[in-house]
A and B are shown apart, each in its own frame.
Chain A
Amino acid sequence: MRNRSLLILTTAVTAGALTLTACGSRDDKGGSDGGASGGVTVTIGLDAPLTGELSALGLGIKNSADLAVQTANKKEYVKGVTFKLVALDDQGQPSSGQQNATKLVADKSILGVVGPLNSSVAESMQKVFDDAKLVEVSPANTNPSLSQGPNWATGDKKRSYASYFRTATTDAIQGPFAAQYVFNKAKKTKAFIIDDKKTYGAGLAGTFKGEFEKLGGKVIGTEHVNPDTKDFSAVATKVKSSGADVVYYGGEYPAAGPLAKQIKEAGAKVTVVGGDALYSPEYVKLAGAAAAEGDIATSVGSPIESLPSAKEFLANYKNGGYKEAYEAYGGYSYDSTWSIIEAVKKVVDGNGGKLPDDARAKVVEAMQSVSFDGVTGKVSFDEFGDTTNKQLTVYTVKNGAYAPVESGTFGG
């Protein structure tokens, strides 16, 4: 009997191991102790996946935020205030995100936080920040419920956290925007919708489905996948036999790449379409350039390479000597960071050049009325804390790399 009980024990331990490996976070102090001396130091916190599968995006966010901090210090944008960046790694895990949020709140010099990347991580952080009246500006969260409350889809929009802002456009717009492009321009009518059951993926898939059906397209299959596995062969066979001509995937590139590869290999003649989390060179790498050819991703904002307002950012980023690319959210991270700097400036200017005692609450207040010309265009926030700059762009994979097809603003 000893063996049997050992086996049971082992199984229990295995289950424990499953949870354990997901924990743990690493600190990464951003190397941006600006040059200016005198006055007070205001720290801007940052939370993003700096390691793990999403680290390409996370490091782009961190570098761009760092650039904003450096620029503000160099220009002495806020007199008497030196900015400093502290970057924490959440590995894309909500549990790590919450630990980081607690850490950031405890550091009294922090007056604002940039991040996180994942909507699911943001969910775990919002309350911690709001309780501490610490402003949070995300460059990448696209789930509508983060700002507009859980019942946004039925029109019952309610802001849950006054301290939460974002420079990213929401899925409420991204999904329908993709649906319109796929139905009207790409002329696809039979969709197979797959999501990864995460806050981001399921939200995106749901809004795509709604608009696609409204336009007259047919949803001929839905599937939910487990993004931790790499074997999607069964799903790929289902897609093939369904006869769909387009697959919409609500999820992120680590699973989307192998999924797209296996769907195409199974012989399904489909275009894979996804949201901004597919808009990464990593997607093409994982799916294989040949398989990814013609696939479509929407992303919030316009490609910053094409915006006149982004010229300075692009040049400075290049001169900054960052090892990693700014990726999809670079411009938005810069704007998020800059909006915190603007809000701090407002607070300092409004208090005779000094930081007030309740600086955190004052920054939250000031953030609501921030307005400036950022990398991605005009940056300001509506009554929910969402960006008023609702640009979107459709990208398609051409010769192994994403190329913009068309940009537009969505009125919705």
Chain B
Amino acid sequence: MNELPQQLVNGLLLGSMYGLVAVGYTMVYGIVQLINFAHGEIFMTGGFGALTVWLILPGGTTLWIALPLMIIGAVLVATTIAVGAERLAYRPLRGGPRLAPLITAIGLSLALQQAVWSLYPEAKSARTFPQIPGGPIELGPVTIQTGDVFLLIAAPVCMAFLAFFVMRTRTGRGMQATAQDPDTAKLMGVNTDRIIVIAFALGAAFAAVGAVAYGLKYGVVDYKMGFLLGLKAFTAAVLGGIGNIYGAMIGGVVLGVAETMATAYISHIPGMSQLGGQSWADVWAFVLLIVVLLARPQGLLGERVADRA
């Protein structure tokens, strides 16, 4: 069992990435009740945005100088696409049947994937992402890769920023008001259209940071990277309670740790060796989701579902 601390860290890292992306699903859902299926692809475009900045920068640039610029590039690309999608694809459908924006989101997701696949140079196979130099950091029984350090710092910082933004700023309070009751919020002078755009932009920015972390951690970005990760992040958002931003982060971490634990330990249980291992990790993650939803249909931290029914 001496690998337990390392496996927990592995799960925490994977979960933080899910959480960063899940925030975007949950925020948009909390405000407009739309499950933005294109969010995984917005995450992916963020990764390619960062890669583009890296490729444009002159050859000898060190990563420490490049990284902030890459993050800015990723955030710019992702938010531009998300805000554009909101303006051109979702807003015209607002007030229409609920299914219309949902189908649009799926269409947009495919369109973005294929656009990157066909337009970005050499994106037909995975493209390598710059790596943080240096060896791993040993902390007792735990080894942390240099590529993970960014995620380890970025995830809590982003969450703290979001908590501050939502709780303390005027716009953040406007967001809460819109989530509770858009019509009343409008009557009270909240510009709900603007709030919705901000929700999309913030979600995209978080996804972009997640994408940079993904590139640094796994060393590659590809046009399909948002698909599976987007699904997992959506699962994390539901697990944590969709609509609740803290729930998204907690759901992400729970999901990440559950997958890692399933990979590491299920096969050690007598009689379960056939059902263990990484290829079964997703199954166990979804079993967990079902169990949680049976006990708490609103998710771990969710509470708002009831008053919107």
How many chain B residues touch A (Cβ–Cβ < 8 Å)? 54
A232 and B131 form a contact (CB under 8 A): no
Tell me whether B263 is interfacial, beta carbon within 8 Å: yes
Tell me whether B125 is interfacial, beta carbon within 8 Å: yes
Chain A 253-275 near chain B by CB (<8 Å), digits 1 or 0: 01001100110011100000000
Task: Give the residues in chain B near A222, CB-CB below 8 Å.
Answer: 277
Tell me whether B272 is interfacial, beta carbon within 8 Å: no
Tell me whether A52 is interfacial, beta carbon within 8 Å: yes
A233 and B10 form a contact (CB under 8 A): yes
Q: Given the known inter-chain contacts A4-B297, A55-B125, A254-B126, please indicate yes or no for A226 contacting B225, CB distance below 8 A.
A: no
Q: Which of A144-196 contact B (CB under 8 A)?
A: 196
Task: Give the residues in chain B near A254, CB-CB below 8 Å.
Answer: 125-126
Task: Give the residues in chain B near A2, CB-CB below 8 Å.
Answer: 98, 309
Tell me whether B33 is interfacial, beta carbon within 8 Å: yes
B234 and A238 form a contact (CB under 8 A): no
Tell me whether B110 is interfacial, beta carbon within 8 Å: yes
Q: Which of A35-87 contact B (CB under 8 A)?
A: 51-53, 55-56
Tell me whether B203 is interfacial, beta carbon within 8 Å: no
Tell me whether A1 is interfacial, beta carbon within 8 Å: yes
Which of B117, B126, B147: most chain A Cβ within 10 A? B126
Query: What is the bound-complex CA distance between A4 and B302, given in angstroms?
Result: 13
Q: Smallest Cβ distance from A266 to chain B, in angstroms?
A: 6
Beta-carbon nearest neighbor of B262 in chain A? A234
* Interface size classification for chain A: 35 or more
Task: Give the residues in chain A near B10, CB-CB below 8 Å.
Answer: 233-234, 237
Q: Given the known inter-chain contacts A4-B305, A21-B110, A235-B263, please indicate yes or no for A230 contacting B279, CB distance below 8 A.
A: no
Q: Smallest Cβ distance from B42 to chain A, in angstroms?
A: 16
Tell me whether A229 is interfacial, beta carbon within 8 Å: yes
Q: Smallest Cβ distance from A55 to chain B, in angstroms?
A: 5
Chain A 1-30 near chain B by CB (<8 Å), digits 1 or 0: 111101101100110011001000000000
Query: What is the bound-complex CA distance between A225 and B277, given in angstroms?
Result: 7
Q: Which of B55-63, B155-163, B216-224 lies on the face that meets chain A? A: B216-224
Among A51, A234, A240, A267, contact of B124 (Cβ-Cβ < 8 Å): A51
B309 and A4 form a contact (CB under 8 A): yes
Tell me whether A319 is interfacial, beta carbon within 8 Å: no
A13 and B143 form a contact (CB under 8 A): no
Chain B 186-220 near chain A by CB (<8 Å), digits 1 or 0: 00000000000000000000000000001000111
Query: What is the bound-complex CA distance between A223 and B266, given in angstroms?
Result: 12
B98 and A6 form a contact (CB under 8 A): yes
Q: Which of B13-47 contact A (CB under 8 A)?
A: 13-14, 33, 35, 37
Q: Smallest Cβ distance from B4 to chain A, in angstroms?
A: 10
Query: What is the bound-complex CA distance between A288 and B147, given in angstroms?
Result: 13
Which of B214, B242, B278: most chain A Cβ within 10 A? B278
Beta-carbon nearest neighbor of A267 in chain B? B143
Q: Smallest Cβ distance from A228 to chain B, in angstroms?
A: 6
Query: What is the bound-complex CA distance between A17 and B126, given in angstroms?
Result: 22
Q: Which of B84-112 contact A (CB under 8 A)?
A: 98-99, 102, 106, 109-110
B238 and A7 form a contact (CB under 8 A): yes
Query: What is the bound-complex CA distance between A2 and B278, given in angstroms?
Result: 36
Tell me whether A398 is interfacial, beta carbon within 8 Å: no
Task: Give the residues in chain B near A127, CB-CB below 8 Å.
Answer: none
B297 and A237 form a contact (CB under 8 A): no
Beta-carbon nearest neighbor of B256 in chain A? A231
Query: What is the bound-complex CA distance between A234 and B7, given in angstroms?
Result: 6
B3 and A238 form a contact (CB under 8 A): yes
Query: What is the bound-complex CA distance between A52 and B13, given in angstroms?
Result: 28
Q: Smallest Cβ distance from A8 to chain B, in angstroms?
A: 10
Nearest first, the 7 A-B pairs at minimum CB distance are: A234-B263, A233-B10, A224-B279, A234-B260, A241-B3, A225-B278, A230-B218
Given A6-B33, A234-B263, A286-B128, 20 more pairs with CB closer than 8 A: A2-B98, A4-B305, A17-B106, A53-B125, A53-B126, A223-B278, A225-B278, A226-B278, A226-B281, A229-B278, A230-B214, A230-B218, A231-B218, A233-B13, A234-B264, A234-B281, A265-B136, A286-B126, A286-B219, A288-B131
- 22 residue pairs of the A-B complex, CB under 8 angstroms, read A2-B98, A3-B33, A3-B309, A9-B99, A14-B37, A17-B109, A55-B125, A196-B279, A197-B279, A224-B280, A225-B277, A225-B278, A226-B279, A230-B214, A232-B278, A234-B11, A234-B259, A237-B264, A240-B3, A257-B220, A265-B143, A286-B220
B binding-site residues for A, Cβ under 8 Å: 2-3, 6-7, 10-11, 13-14, 33, 35, 37, 98-99, 102, 106, 109-110, 113, 117, 124-126, 128, 131, 136, 143, 145, 147, 214, 218-220, 222, 225, 227-228, 231, 234, 238, 242, 259-260, 263-264, 277-282, 297, 305, 308-309
